[in-house]
Amino acid sequence: MTDTSSKYLVDERGYFGKFGGAYIPEMLYPNVEELRENYLKIINEHGFKERFDQLLKDYVGRPTPLYHAARLSEKYGAKIYLKREDLCHTGAHKVNNTIGQILVAEALGKKKIIAETGAGQHGVATATVCALMGLECIVYMGEVDMARQKPNVERMKILGAEVRPATSGSKTLKDATNEAMRHWINNPADTHYIIGSVVGPHPYPDMVARFQSVISEEIKHQLLEKEGKSDPDYVFACVGGGSNAAGAYYHFLGHENVKLIATEAAGLGNHSGKSAATTALGREGVLHGSRTILMQTDDGQVVEPYSISAGLDYPGIGPFHAHLFDSGRALFESITDEQAMTAGVLLSKLEGIIPAVESSHALAALENFQFKSDDIVVVNLSGRGDKDLETYIKWGKY
């Protein structure tokens, strides 16, 4: 079997195919350049790897189980495994990345951390690792989002972070991102900016994908042990910016026999005007510092996305996934709120696992496939549903 992974990974110029790069204001160039010059050297050092692995093991709780979901398997007529990222400390995969980045910040001699957050999940994962390392943490969050996501705001504060409201524009994620960028421009020497998904200017998408790639590395070993072969037939994952999916796909990219299924949030339907399904509705452009695919108007204004799940409510996808879509390597499916909530309740009843609503989008896509009985299917369960209790209650159909 030939390994073709390199054509799906970042090239020397910071591109995935024709996507990626670093489209940033000149004022930000020194910060991003410092990171670009150093990140590979830092993360490939033996000492770094040792500390990263140790923290993933003892602090995050890795390896996360690869669980054979027998009742779910029976329903869909295939052998279905769940990769249990929901069991990570803080309840989702995001912490894999923030652990990696806080160690990079430390290696670069940075004393302060900034981040932006929409729903607050990335903010909490960042505040967590700052507490762990004793670093100062400022999280920018839109004023509207702060009101919508009060529990996460309080979590960040308990963890010792300062949450700064972004009060311009729509007072949501994009405005928080602008504020964080401005902060970084003004504090280049002592501050590292932790981005929460495989988005942003090069080298962020590549760096975040590498930190999350531990997911597929574990899947390979676990499948070999359980099935006598390391390649599944399918890997399903939801895509907001795309970090959990990038991690779940990473070591299978070059194995073209492994089908990669990416699910995007279609909200109330792709033709309802209330959707976040980027590949179905978007086209090429520049978002958050990289060339990618995003939802935009004819004159290039970013379209406000909608999804019931805060983590998928993003108007683009990272360049990693834009290239997987463009090359046909991954198959993209649109999943509505209704389909996702139904799948989340189904998993709860069949397996005793209440998934994050984001992860339910990956589960819902199982409905769209005709499997063979010996197909091995891995669904990346990116997070747990505790944070979504309100959403389940409002949904009501359980």
Ligand X SMILES: *Cc1c(COP(=O)(O)O)cnc(C)c1O
Q: Which residues are catalytic?
A: 94, 116, 382
Site membership for ligand X, residue 360 (CB under 6 A): no
Minimum CB distance to ligand X smaller for 73 or for 359: 359
Q: In Å, what is the CA distance from 356 to each residue of 22, 24, 25, 156? A: 32, 33, 36, 19
Residue 274 half-sphere exposure toward CB, CA atoms < 13 A: 10
Minimum CB distance to ligand X smaller for 36 or for 361: 361
In the bound complex, what is the minimum distance in angstroms from residue 236's beta carbon to ligand X? 13
- Binding part of the chain for ligand X, among 16-24, 174-182, 263-271, 355-363 by CB under 6 A, reads 355-363
Site membership for ligand X, residue 356 (CB under 6 A): yes
Task: Give, for 283, the enclosing helix (H) or strand (E).
Answer: strand 283-287
Residue nearest to ligand X (CB): 383
What radius of gyration do the chain's Cα atoms show?
19
- Contacting residue, 73, 98, 101, 121, with ligand X by CB under 6 A: 121
Residues 6+ apart with CB under 8 A from 90: 124, 125, 128
Cis peptide before 203 (omega within 30 of 0): yes
Site membership for ligand X, residue 21 (CB under 6 A): no
Minimum CB distance to ligand X smaller for 73 or for 243: 243
Residue 134 half-sphere exposure toward CB, CA atoms < 13 A: 0
In the bound complex, what is the minimum distance in angstroms from residue 327's beta carbon to ligand X? 19
Site membership for ligand X, residue 322 (CB under 6 A): no
Minimum CB distance to ligand X smaller for 92 or for 163: 92
Site string for ligand X, 49-88 (x = CB under 6 A): ----------------------------------------
- The token pair at 20 is 């990626």
- Taking the C-alpha atoms of residue 104 and residue 97, their distance in angstroms, rounded to an integer, is 11
Site membership for ligand X, residue 126 (CB under 6 A): no
Q: For residue 383, count CB atoms less than 10 angstroms from its CB and return exposed for 0-12, middle for 13-18, buried for 19 or more.
A: buried
Site for ligand X in 283-312 (CB under 6 A): 311-312
Site string for ligand X, 89-108 (x = CB under 6 A): ---x-x--------------
Site string for ligand X, 247-286 (x = CB under 6 A): ----------------------------------------
Site membership for ligand X, residue 127 (CB under 6 A): no
In the bound complex, what is the minimum distance in angstroms from residue 262's beta carbon to ligand X? 9
- Taking the C-alpha atoms of residue 254 and residue 43, their distance in angstroms, rounded to an integer, is 22
Cis peptide before 205 (omega within 30 of 0): no
Q: Would strands 112-117 and 191-193 be described as parallel, antiparallel, or unpaired?
A: parallel
Helix pair angle (46-55, 94-107), 10° resolution: 140
In the bound complex, what is the minimum distance in angstroms from residue 239's beta carbon to ligand X? 5
Q: Which residues of 3-15 are buried (b: 16+ CB within 10 A; e: fewer)?
A: eeeeebebeeebb
Site for ligand X in 193-222 (CB under 6 A): 197
Site membership for ligand X, residue 242 (CB under 6 A): yes
- Taking the C-alpha atoms of residue 323 and residue 120, their distance in angstroms, rounded to an integer, is 28
In the bound complex, what is the minimum distance in angstroms from residue 79's beta carbon to ligand X? 24
Residue ranges that bind ligand X, judged by CB under 6 A: 92, 94, 121, 197, 238-244, 311-312, 356, 358-359, 382-383
